[in-house]
Amino acid sequence: MGLVCRVVEEAGIPTVCVSTGRDITTLVRPPRSYFVNAPMGNNFGAPGDRETQSRILRAVLDLAVEAREPGCIVDDPMRWPRPFFFNPAPPSPEARAKQLKK
Amino acid sequence: MEPIRYVATLTEKYAALGFPPYDWSRYDDAPFTPLDKPLSACTVSLLTSGGVSRCAMPPFDPDARNDLRLDEVPSNAPSDDFQIHDSYYNHDDADRDLNCIFPIDRLRDMARDGTIGAVAPRLWSGFMGRIYKRQAVLADKAPALARELERDGVDLFIAVPA
């Protein structure tokens, strides 16, 4: 997605990437990133929490206006109420066989 | 809590599965196009990569690799008319409220209250995780999306990775 932002920005349209992976964002350097320290899939917070969803979206829009430095990352102040982890499902045996063939 | 170390975790995971080491995209600088009008005059579009599709559309393949599918989502689509299929992240919360990853209701709120000028006629879902064909994205699929955004008069593009 960072790559997509870079290409769209290069085409002349300003972009903001709403990231939950700060280290990946630091590597890929989309033009502007707003980092939310929440589980992947909760970029705009918890279900039904309209206030937080609106606050984050507003901050993302403000970043589009205020950013001056290419590749900038702004950190959202939210603290997720529970510890969270990253544990994607392992690839299916077929997918793994296909990958190893390449 | 410290941010999750995705890069280290994925590098270890791939190694444990016997995959060749993943060559992360790395850039020292970034392109930059200043926003040249006030938000209240901006047409805004949105992209999710979270395996989100309309209920009437075929679901995304939850275990997809190199899935370059990109769906157009009409800007008036009701937020309860979507399904999510993606084994890469936990979407229990987003299943209950799409706005957790694809805040289309909130974006429409902001068009209604005048914060932004308009929601673009088309929003987007695609570029799911686990795309290893980087060149296809950089040289083909992302430029094609940029052209569609231009056609829709998009002034600002928000991408929400998952």
User: Do the Cβ atoms of A15 and B157 come closer than 8 Å?
Assistant: yes
CA distance B23 to B88: 19
B37/A contact by beta carbon, under 8 A: no
A32-35 vs A15-19, strand pairing mode: parallel
Answer yes or no: is B80 within a domain.
Answer: yes
Domains of chain A, by residue range, sit at 2-80
- In three-state secondary structure terms, B4 is coil
Closest CA to A33 of A4, A67, A58, A84: A67
Q: Which residue do the tokens 């205020």 mark?
A: A66
Strand partners, B53: B83
**Residue B137: inside a domain, yes or no?**
yes
Domain count, chain B: 1
Q: B9 in a domain, yes or no?
A: no
- Domain assignment present for residue B7? The answer is no
Q: Average pLDDT of B103-123?
A: 98
Residue B29 lies in a domain: no
Q: How confident is the model at residue A101 (pLDDT cuts 50, 70, 90)?
A: low
At A94, the pLDDT band (50, 70, 90 cuts) reads low
Phi then psi dihedrals of residue A40, to 5 deg = -55, 130
Looking up tokens 């157009």, which residue turns up? B72
B161 in Cβ contact with A4 (< 8 Å): no
- Rounded to 5 degrees, φ, ψ at B118 are -160, 155
Q: Which domain holds residue B46?
A: 37-160
Residue B49 contacts residue B128 (beta carbons within 8 Å): yes
pLDDT in tens, B84-99: 999 989 999 999 999 9
| Chain B residues touching residue A12 (CB < 8 angstroms) | 33, 150
- Give me chain A's average pLDDT, please: 92
- For residue B65, tell me if it sits in a domain: yes
- Asked which of A48-62, A80-94, B125-139 is least confident by mean pLDDT, the reply is A80-94
Q: What's the CA gap between B111 and B105, in Å, rounded?
A: 10
d(CA A31, CA A2) in angstroms, rounded, equals: 8
- For B10-56, how does the pLDDT look when each residue is reduced to its tens digit (9 = 90+)? 888 888 888 888 888 999 999 999 999 999 999 999 999 999 999 99
Condensed to tens digits (0 to 9), the pLDDT of residues B45-86 reads: 999 999 999 999 999 999 888 889 999 999 999 999 999 999
ipTM value greater than 0.85: yes
The yes-or-no verdict on residue A102 having pLDDT over 60 is: no
B27, A27: Cβ pair inside 8 Å?
A: yes
pLDDT of residue A91: 63
Pair of tokens at residue B138: 């950089």
Q: What is the mean pLDDT of residues A38-65?
A: 98
List of chain A residues whose C-beta atoms are within 8 Å of the C-beta of residue B138: 3, 7
Residue B31 lies in a domain: no
pLDDT of residue A35: 98
Q: How far is CA A89 from CA A92, A93, B100, in A?
A: 9, 12, 21
**The pLDDT value given to residue B132:** 81
Indicate the residue of B90, B97, B109 with minimum beta-carbon distance to A54: B109
Nearest chain A Cα to B126, which residue?
Answer: A1
The predicted pLDDT at position B62 comes to 92
Distance in angstroms (rounded) separating the CA atoms of residues B43 and B118: 5
